[in-house]
Amino acid sequence: MTAPPPAKRPPERPIEALALARELEANGRFADAIELLTETNQRRRNAKVERELVLLRHRAFAAVPRRPGHDRWPPEVDDMFGPDVIVPEVLGSELTASHVRSALVNHGFLVVRDLVPPARVDQLKDDIDHALVAAKAHVDGASTADTAPWWVPFKPTEGYSVGGGRQWIWEQGSVWAVDSPRSLFDLVETFREIGLDGTIASYLGETPALSVKKCTLRRVPADTGTNWHQDGAFLGQGIRTLNVWIALSACGDDSPSLDIVPKRMEGIVQTGTDGALFDWSVGEGAVERVRGDLSIVRPRFEAGDAMLFDELFLHRTGVSEGMDRDRYTIESWFFAPSSYPDEQIPVVF
């Protein structure tokens, strides 16, 4: 029996890898092209490769099947945590899609402890600092050549528009992950390393796609503004989504955390009333009505902890007088392709 030919070694030079990736893409082999450039960048970091990976992941969505992975959404599942549990928690090493599904359906959210290992926490936190410095330099007139790979403004394909989203995010002291190619690469590598890519895919029943506008690197100051909201108020109806909110610094004591209503909401709470700051946010009076006898909860997080929730989760940034430290976080909204809200601009994960 003849042995199969040895696997072809990926090109050593980035320029050759980029050329081969374009050839693979032209033949519809997006996954192979992404894997090739990922391996190339793992061997030796290259700004052009990282930038092309961002764009390639965006273009690849056009070839992703958009068939629902689950007949019913959300599914009916038993409560693994129990009705008396206020804050459902699980260790990152034990996390499964069943934990996510049970917690979100029955409690509205899930806290995951020690999800991201310390070395990755330090790397991602450092990435945020680099990205914010580079973005500021760009605002002050620096060229993209000078700010790459930490800041290269993302340009979507025809039919998509970033609108004013980038400016609004920047004014909040944050940047889109796609605008920082090196940061996005490190984030994807982190999720792969901890197996979260498979967990999310199992939860959604489909290969997940990130949102350009809702995958954000944040350094939140202690004096930040805050307002109650559900992301579904502006993401739209009929979506299937999961947000992975990762704390990269301890928060809840001297830096902002999250204030949450610890229950599953059945729909979108009335917005724009009771003193709400925006037409999509929820006023204090409306929050009081829907929470009933439940107390508002402000979880404390250590660096590497995370919270998972979907578009119905009612929350706000948890700020108190006396806080004096910035909070480092990354939020990553994943959508099932079958119900992807195209205005969010997809990036294959």
The amino acid sitting at 39 is E
The whole-number pLDDT of residue 8 equals: 57
Q: Tens digit of pLDDT for each residue in 114-170?
A: 999 999 999 999 999 999 999 999 999 999 999 999 999 999 999 999 988 898 898
What pLDDT does residue 76 have?
Answer: 86
Q: What is the CATH number of the domain that holds 213?
A: 2.60.120.620
Question: Structural domain tally of the chain?
Answer: 1
Mean pLDDT of 182-205: 97
User: Of the ranges 7-16, 142-151, 245-254, 264-273, which one carries the lowest mean pLDDT score?
Assistant: 7-16
Mean pLDDT across 331-348: 96
- Tell me: pLDDT of 6 over 60: no
- On whether residue 60 sits in a domain, the answer given is no
The answer to whether residue 24 is domain-embedded is no
Task: Assess whether pLDDT exceeds 80 at residue 4.
Answer: no
Burial of 209 (0-12, 13-18, 19+ CB in 10 A): buried
Q: What pLDDT does 57 receive?
A: 98
Residue 257 has pLDDT above 70, yes or no: yes
Residue 289 confidence (pLDDT) above 70? yes
Q: What are phi and psi of 119, to 5 degrees?
A: -65, -40
Confidence of residue 9 (pLDDT cuts 50, 70, 90): low
The confidence score (pLDDT) of residue 7 equals 43
Residue 195 domain flag: yes
The pLDDT score that the predictor gives to residue 236 is: 84
Write out the H or E segment, with its range, that includes residue 115.
none
Q: What percent of the chain has pLDDT over 70?
A: 97
Given a cut of 50, is residue 5 above it in pLDDT?
no
Indicate whether 216 belongs to any domain: yes
Confidence tier at 11 by pLDDT (50, 70, 90)? confident
Q: Per the domain annotation, does 54 fall within a domain? A: no
83-112 residue pLDDT tens? 999 999 999 999 999 999 999 999 999 999
17 assigned to some structural domain = no
Domain span including residue 191: 68-348
Is residue 154 a part of any domain in this protein? yes
Please choose, from the candidates 228, 219, 298, 301, the residue with its C-alpha nearest in 3D space to the C-alpha of residue 265: 228
Mean pLDDT of the chain: 94
34 near 207, Cβ under 8 Å? no
In degrees, rounded to 5, the angle at the alpha carbon of residue 172 between the alpha carbons of residues 166 and 178 is 35
- pLDDT at res. 295: 97
Q: Evaluate whether residue 318 is within a structural domain.
A: yes
Q: What's the whole-model pTM score?
A: 0.94
Run of H or E residues at 286: helix 284-291
327-335 vs 209-220, strand pairing mode: antiparallel
Average pLDDT over residues 62-72: 93
Tell me the pLDDT tens digit for each residue of 295-337: 999 999 999 999 999 999 999 999 999 999 999 999 999 999 9
